[in-house]
Structure 1
Amino acid sequence: MGNRYYQGPVSDHFDGETFFNPGGTPPKGFGDVLKWQLRGDRADWPDGVAVTQVVPDMRVADLRVTLVGHATVLLQAGGVNVLIDPVWSKRVSPLSFAGPARVTAPGIAFANLPPIDVVLLSHNHYDHMDIATLRRLHDRFAMPVITPLGNDTILRDEVPGIDARAGDWGDVIKVADLSVRLLPAHHWSARGTRDRRHALWCSFAVETGAGRIYASGDTGYDAGRPYDAGAAHGPYRLAILPIGAYAPRWFMKGQHQNPEEAVAGFRTLGARHALAMHWGTFRLTDEARDEPPAKLRKALAESGISDETFRAVAPGTAWDVPA
């Protein structure tokens, strides 16, 4: 069939048709998906959780990070405004009427966004690549989107005229007074049933006027290999790390780290501070909504790290990250 999104040379993470995690575990198959779904061990979630939305400043001279919800983060650093994996839609699904729905409103109303200079898009799963939101952002800001290989093809097909700039792991893309390095993550990709691993996934190391930021995107811990790669490009003032969507472990371990692994990754990176994301907005997996931050607090205490250093905050929380 061939790759729908990318044609390029074979590498240590591309076999000529599909991308893969070097030395890592591949994603589970359809039989495992059925096994998981039929077990019915999902914790109940609330239908809705109140959010106090914040109206951000237009520009921030130093470093401020605001959790919008799930993996969507507004990063304001050295006067530059960056959105990471922006999702303002009600559902993260190929269907408008079915699939995981929000239990929290976005922490920033779309109309109140400051001027967005660049979007960082880590991969093409629906809870990270939301085409409806990206169309709205393009229409309003016409900003560049930095993304790994193959995702630029999807974006150009879906959002005519979008400035999509793709890179491989290790590439550096300079934009809006930022230097953005694409780094390995342990994950996979698909928008449907016939494009599995046809586009790459990544983490980002971002050099800003307010210091270096590490944004992991979605990742499994993978014996710490993504963090070993990230640490080589630090030190970081802030790391943005996932802590949720990890249960059941037999199914999710290869693609989503748990809070204990997030703390281990934080220590490997040597970051001064961290923001937890990828929890509490969409029920994707089996754990209870409030379990990831509780497990994070416990793991931090066991590691002697303050929960003010590695914070799990509600959507709409703006954090001025200490120097």
Structure 2
Amino acid sequence: MDEIQRVHPVLDYDFQKVNNPPQDKIQITWIGHATVLVQIEGMNILADPVFSEKCGPAGFGLQLGYTRFRCPACQVEDLPPIHVVLISHNHHDHLDSQSVKDIAQLYSGAKWLVGLGNAKFCKKHGCKDVKELKWWEPTTVGAFTFVCTPTQHWCQRYPLDFNHALWCGWVVKSPNYKYYFAGDTGYQGELFKLIGRKYGPFDLASIPIGAYHPRYITEFQHVNPEEAVEVHKDIQSKISVGMHWGTFELTNEYYLEPPQRLEKQMKKEKLDLKTFFNLRIGETWVVGENRDYNPPFMEREKEKTQTLSDDPPTQRPDDDPSTQKLGDDSPTQKHGDDPSTQSQGDDPSTQRHSDDSPTQRHGDDPPTQSHGDDPPTQRHDDDPPTQRHGGDPSTQIHGDDPSTQSHGDDPSTQRHSDDPSTQRHGDDPSTQRHGDDPSAQRPSNDPSTQSHGDDPPTQRHGDDPSTQSHGDDPPTQRHGDDPSTQSHGDDPPTQRHGDDPPTQRHGDDPPTQRHGDDPPTQRHGDDPPTQSHGNLYDDPLTQ
């Protein structure tokens, strides 16, 4: 315990700062685990309050569950007047019976905001002003707006109430600031990008980084530090603070590993290390002020990591988070960059950029995508594309990032006189235009010029594969085509710009349309589809 106190101490609670927060800035205090006190423009907001020694079911004189190895920074009676309490879900390490009772008794005027199905529990334990919200539903408290947003998690408090209540994150919008509390969540890139587009950028975010090993158990309910960085970028957070670690021993990773892996991932992506970091338990920090970025739990001497100055991040609170830099180095990945080169759940200690891995590089053949994958949620006017990591780019619809698909690209990127026989099977087709001369596009029938031993793609982006000539190769019959109408030597059709382009080239992975489904009827100028990924995560404002 002495060693834990040395490397992961609990700081003395700063009553002076907590009781006198600045009225024109954001101040945050990490009380422990997922419990944070956020003070924004005169409003005191307490999220996922857990102050008990144990978190778990209790009854018949027994208290089960997990025991703290780090005490909370304060007790309920030490808190300032609480105006709003946010509850992300009903798991015992986020919603504690005794803590709810104590807060309801001491701060009876507090407004409790909970996901659908959780109000009964709060009222039973003494809360007077409780409001349940559905996903994407907003509510106002004074001049503040609170929005209940989806996360990827689950709920259960008793043996027979599995998923009888909603789990969620919270968007907080004050007159001048935006704050995001993620609660508990696995990584769902399309969802967090949608939150970033609708409500970001955020001035501050609290993102979980711990309780992630082993991954075969936790992958879909808890992000690891690498995925937490993706959430930080997806929601367009200017400053993020880690939570959900260093308090309860919920999983098997080394208890100081989460903040150390987080910093390594930020450095790997050349992001400013001071834009996503971790407070010490009991630390109260005003966003934008100096602080100690070298707490003992970083074990810099042991890990041989660089010591950071106490200066605030180089990014000002009103800067675009997509321009975050590490020192003087320019970032290698901005918020709109292709995320396909980054794995979501891989352990960075075993995977380097140069290692062979399942991550797709630019120019490689796209990974195989199952027939049942949900289509991307990107609408024609969205920016950037919300294609999932590892998704098949062949399913990208018109209206995606024009840098990768354009009818007016510089013709210097593909000349009619170029020898298409030198085009390898996995070359990037994004520079190929719809209107190019098909006679200059068909590969040579000479197999000596074919790269990798594979059949070269004989169909241009936009050509009708049913009439494409392959020389001696068999016809590239599409699923559902009538083979009797397929010709080997016909000229390619004059496809119009608004026609549905085929989603499968010779040699590509199969399209996401399942056998028997009706083909999409949407054309380039039509309204975007109203169905996004997964009916639970659909944004009602787009339906």
TM-score over 0.5 (shorter chain):
yes
Query: Residues 171-209 of structure 1, C-alpha deviation per residue, up to 9 Å, x if partnerless?
Result: 001114320001110000010110000000101111013
Q: Name the structure 1 match of 2:224.
A: 258
* Structure 2 residue 204 is the aligned partner of structure 1 residue 238: yes
In 2, the alpha carbon distance for the partners of 1:308 and 1:84 equals 23
In 1, the alpha carbon distance for the partners of 2:205 and 2:55 equals 24
Higher alpha-carbon deviation: 82-91 or 100-109: 100-109
Q: Name the structure 1 match of 2:10.
A: 51
Report the CA distance between 1:50 and its aligned residue. 3.4
Map residues 161-310 of structure 1 onto 2, 5 A cutoff: 161-222=127-188, 224-231=189-196, 232-310=198-276
Q: Secondary structure at the match of 2:122?
A: helix
Task: Please give the TM-score of this superposition, normalised by the length of structure 1.
Answer: 0.82
Query: Residues 74-121 of structure 1, C-alpha deviation per residue, up to 9 Å, x if partnerless?
Result: 000011000000111111101353321111121233332111000000
In the alignment, residue 65 of structure 1 is paired with which amino acid? I
Q: Name the structure 2 match of 1:129.
A: 95
Q: Name the structure 2 match of 1:88.
A: 51
Distance 1:247 1:46, change over 3 A: farther
In the alignment, residue 57 of structure 1 is paired with which amino acid? N
Q: Which has the larger radius of gyration?
A: 2
In 2, the alpha carbon distance for the partners of 1:176 and 1:79 equals 11
In 2, the alpha carbon distance for the partners of 1:180 and 1:261 equals 25
Aligned residue among 104, 117, 120 for 1:138:
104
Q: Secondary structure at the match of 1:186?
A: coil
In the alignment, residue 57 of structure 2 is paired with which amino acid? P
Higher alpha-carbon deviation: 46-55 or 308-317: 46-55
In the alignment, residue 11 of structure 2 is paired with which amino acid? T
Task: Please give the TM-score of this superposition, normalised by the length of structure 2.
Answer: 0.50
In the alignment, residue 52 of structure 1 is paired with which amino acid? L
* Structure 2 residue 27 is the aligned partner of structure 1 residue 64: yes
Root mean square deviation, CA, Å: 1.8
Report the CA distance between 1:45 and its aligned residue. 12
Q: Name the structure 1 match of 2:123.
A: 156
Kept in 1, the 8 Å contact 2:105–2:126? The answer is no
Distance 1:176 1:94, change over 3 A: farther
Distance 1:151 1:239, change over 3 A: same
In the alignment, residue 194 of structure 2 is paired with which amino acid? A
Q: Secondary structure at the match of 2:211?
A: coil
Q: Secondary structure at the match of 1:308?
A: helix
Map residues 111-130 of structure 1 onto 2, 5 A cutoff: 111-130=77-96
**Can you give the 5+ residue segments of structure 2 that lack an aligned partner in the other structure?**
289-316, 318-543
In 2, the alpha carbon distance for the partners of 1:229 and 1:166 equals 22
Q: Name the structure 1 match of 2:300.
A: none
Q: Secondary structure at the match of 1:196?
A: coil
Aligned residue among 40, 47, 69 for 1:103:
69
Kept in 2, the 8 Å contact 1:63–1:210? The answer is no
Q: Secondary structure at the match of 1:279?
A: coil
Report the CA distance between 1:134 and its aligned residue. 1.1
Aligned residue among 262, 275, 280 for 1:314:
280
Higher alpha-carbon deviation: 159-168 or 252-261: 159-168
Distance 1:134 1:161, change over 3 A: closer
In 2, the alpha carbon distance for the partners of 1:161 and 1:283 equals 29
Q: Name the structure 1 match of 2:430.
A: none
In the alignment, residue 97 of structure 2 is paired with which amino acid? I
In 2, the alpha carbon distance for the partners of 1:160 and 1:317 equals 30
Higher strand share: 1
In the alignment, residue 129 of structure 1 is paired with which amino acid? L
In 1, the alpha carbon distance for the partners of 2:273 and 2:238 equals 12
Q: Secondary structure at the match of 1:204?
A: strand
